Structure 1
Amino acid sequence: MTSLSDIPVLAPRGEPLPGESPVVSAVLNQVMELLAQFLASGTAAALDLRRVPRMDAATYQQLKDALSTGEVTATVAADVRVEISETQYPGVWWVTHRNERGDIVTELIEVTEVPAILKSHVADMRAGLQRLEQALALPSSREGTPAPA
């Protein structure tokens, strides 16, 4: 995973919109470059929002508002809770990892088709197949119940 410090932050193109933070403008320009890079090469990337300099609460909210929420959201309930929201820009995802107390542990903007956390792992798929095979091998507890039409 790439952090913002690993990727050169591009200078904003033009002036920020009225009231827009230069930090927000720089992050949005970086996201734009990463999206263009992904479309050209298929190379996914992520920005670690916890490493963005001068990201105070107001700047954070301004960035959240600028990206907004798109059509897809998902929650992964694993060892940590992960909330995933596609932004209004397809392929740009806001990914928040929370610990058991609900505190934010990691927050990323991922540029990819589907965030890696949502992809099934082959080992999990094999285990799922085995459970399904076992379930189908057992006699149904609803024998005699007509199948739904």
Structure 2
Amino acid sequence: MSLNDIPVRAASVVTGNLRPILHEIRHALSEFITHGTHGMIDLHSLPFSPQEYTELDEFLGEGEIDLTLNVLGKTRLRESGYAGVWRVEHFDDNDKRIGYFIEIGHVPEILR
């Protein structure tokens, strides 16, 4: 028997941060609607599993806008299915994601 014969299953890792992030998005959206306050959540600085990123993307859905800017690196801006909720991703020269934000507002900060 070799190492290749040993079955390996990847366990899904869950950090438990998805639900609090959804609450934070809801709160930021409420603040934006009530007071016009723009909000930003830095997902890249939090422990967040690939599974949770997928679940967040599925929950937020897709809006009408998906664009890429090339200003000091590549930035992808995606409108979610909820008005005023944006996904903003920054990439390095090797196309590795180096920043991921949820922004709440009319448009993302980089466009203002």
Give the TM interval when normalised to the shorter protein.
0.7 to 0.9
Give the structure 1 partner of residue 36 of structure 2. Answer: 42
**How many equivalent pairs are there?**
99
**Superposition map of 1:1-149 within 5 A:** 22-53=16-47, 55-119=48-112
Give the structure 1 partner of residue 6 of structure 2. Answer: none
Name stretches of at least 5 consecutive residues in structure 1 with no aligned partner.
1-20, 120-149
Q: Which structure shows the bigger proportion of residues in strand conformation?
A: 2
Identity %: 28
Structure number with higher relative contact order (C-alpha < 8 Å, ≥ 6 residues apart): 2
**One-letter identity of the residue aligned with 2:96:** D
Q: Which structure shows the bigger proportion of residues in helix conformation?
A: 1
Q: Which has the larger radius of gyration?
A: 1
TM-score by length of 1: 0.62
TM-score by length of 2: 0.81
Write the distance in 2 (CA, Å) between the matches of 1:23 and 1:82: 24
- List 4+ stretches of structure 1 deviating above 2 A: none
Give the structure 2 partner of residue 124 of structure 1. Answer: none
**One-letter identity of the residue aligned with 1:50:** H
Q: CA deviation at 1:85?
A: 0.4
